[in-house]
Amino acid sequence: EVQLLESGGGLLQPGGSLRLSCATSGFIFSGFAMTWVRQAPGKGLEWVSAISDLDSVTYYADSVKGRFTISRDRSTNTLHLQMNSLRAEDTAVYYCAKRSGAWNGYLDSWGQGTLVTVAS
């Protein structure tokens, strides 16, 4: 069974930094692309970032480009999202999700999410 478990969320001030992690199990981590999707309170889903499987090509939404960095650690089967220069509008539940393919595909498994709150 695929399991994704996010951690690292919290409350911080604008301009701060945070690193989210997503521990994975139940599938061959190096064989699938992974993504981060966020959901602001009471709002819809917004794609944030994605990373391919072996070559770790990365993609970012314009809203986070230059501030967020996605990475994957194959030794621990963990996905990370380094978030810098955080803004109030980054406040959201952040979900990691597994893609169905090595390069692209739909999101076939989701974690339970971790809440990031940016406020002064």
**Binding residues vs another protein (CB under 8 A):** 35, 37, 44-47, 50, 59, 61-62, 95, 99-100, 104-113
Give the pair of three-digit tokens for residue 110.
Answer: 């989701």
Return the number of the residue (20 or 111) whose C-beta is nearest another protein: 111
Q: Which is nearer to another protein, 25 or 104 (CB)?
A: 104
CB 61 to another protein: min, Å:
5
**CA 12 to chain CA mean position, Å:** 18
Q: What are phi and psi of 19, to 5 degrees?
A: -120, 120
Provide the minimum distance between the beta carbon of 51 and another protein in the complex, in angstroms, as a whole number: 13
Question: Minimum CB separation from another protein for residue 45, in Å?
Answer: 4
SS3 57: coil
Cα angle: 59, vertex 8, 33; to 5 degrees? 30
